[in-house]
Structure formats: structure tokens, C-alpha cells
Amino acid sequence: MFLVGGPAFSGTTLLALMLNQGDLVCLDEPDFHNPLQSHRSIRLLQQMFPELSFPEHPGEQMTFSEATTLTEECERALYPRELGTKTCNSFFLGYHRVYRRRGWPVIAIFRDIRDALVRPLPDGFTESGLNDHYRVIWQQRGMFDLWLRYEDLISDPDTAISRISNTLGRPLETKRNWGSKDVTHHMLKLDKHDLLKTLRGVCFESGDLENLRKDLLQSES
């Protein structure tokens, strides 16, 4: 089991997509602690693996510790697959403490916040609040098993994935193409995720993600 996250709009969704491979199942913001998000956690797992039996969500708000226990039960149901979860901001900080105590690896990704602010922020986010989350999570980077930069992930994905592979202790491939079934509607929560829509059915060579990012930024300026 493992945790992936960081500040919002720092490339966490793309990283979760890249880690969905082989026996790895990385859920995008399942928020096991929140019963209103069960469609992104247990119900989604049930849809993905209808032949398996998963624990029921208690239907009430849980602590991060209780939610991690539920996640562990889900991973046992998935065996021999490994279950990863991706989340952001204060939820990431809350979960990372529990994961670290229990010996599960934690991976963080950071991005130049100026890129995150190219487009207007969606409702519920402010520039000052985003700055605060970036600063606090950056200050905690020494507590993570691995942290990497979004810019490195897209400019040299082979090296980034190799570092993650060493952290998780299992071989990983650098995914260079995605089908529409890989980029689910659960990942396309915001207009900022248009990049993922463009990845559907596209094959990339090393460095192409960086070029695509630059093209998108130029079109938005």
C-alpha cells in the first residue's frame, strides 16, 4: 500500500494515472474518510473488480487512522495487487502521518505554483490558500519517503518512474500511452485536467509531455 499526493494542481492526478499499471491500483482522491466520496473508493473498486468482495463503508465520517484501516482491508481484498491512494493539501498531510506510522511509503510531488495559477482557480480555492498548502507541504518534504518535481516527471519521466520504483520496491514502466478507459471520469474533475483529456489514446515519446505543457501554457497566456 502507498500514498501519493502533494499540493493541489501539482501533477498528482497525472502521477496517479502513470502508477496505474500491472498489479498497482492507484485511486484518485478516494477520500476513504468521507462517506460522500465512496463512489471514488469502495464503489469504484467494486466496479473495477466485480469478482472480488470488498468491505462496506460504515457510512459515516472517519478519522484518517480509521480510513487507513479500511484502505488496508481493501488492499487485502485486492491481493496480490497493491493499492495506492492519491490525495492533496490537508488531506494528504493528515494521511501521510498515519501511513508513515504504519510503515507505508509516501510519495509527494511539487510543481512551480506559477504554473498552477496560469488559469483562474476553481470555486473553493484561493491563491493565498493554495500558497499556504504549497508552503506547509514543502516544509514537510523531509518526512516523505520520496518527493519529486512535476517538471522533472514530464521532462524526464524515465528517471522519475525509476525513483518511484525504488521507493515502492517493485519494477515499474514509464507509461507512454493511455486508452480512454484508463482516464476515467473520476480523474476529470476540473477544467485544469484538460491535459489528461488530450492524453487519451495518444502515445508520447520522452520529452513530449514537456512540449505539450509548454504549448498549453502559451495558448492560455
Q: Are 154 and 213 in contact (CB under 8 A)?
A: yes
What is the extent of the structural domain holding 168? 2-220
| DSSP string of 42-101, one letter each residue | HHHHHHH-TTS--PPP-SS---HHHHHHHHHHHHHHHTTSEEEEEEEHHHHHHHHHHHHH
pLDDT at 118: 79
What's the CATH number where 133 sits? 3.40.50.300
* CA atoms of 29 and 87, how far apart (whole Å): 5
Main-chain phi, psi angles of 101, to 5 degrees: -60, -35
Q: 41 near 27, Cβ under 8 Å?
A: yes
Position 204: which residue type?
Answer: F
Pair 62, 32: CB distance under 8 Å: yes
Tens of pLDDT, residue by residue over 86-122, are 999 999 999 999 999 999 999 999 998 888 787 788 7
More confident residue, 118 or 5: 5
Number of structural domains found in the chain: 1
Please check whether residue 116 is in contact with residue 9, taking contact to mean a CB–CB distance below 8 angstroms: yes
pLDDT digit string (tens) for 140-171? 999 999 999 999 999 999 999 999 999 999 99
User: In the prediction, which pLDDT does 186 show?
Assistant: 55
Contacts 24+ apart (CB under 8 A), 205-208: 205/176, 206/156, 206/157, 206/158, 206/174, 207/155, 207/156
- In degrees and rounded to multiples of 5, residue 26 shows phi and psi of -115, 110
Prediction pTM value: 0.81
pLDDT at 181: 60
Q: Would you list the DSSP string of 11-26?
A: SHHHHHHHH--TTEEE
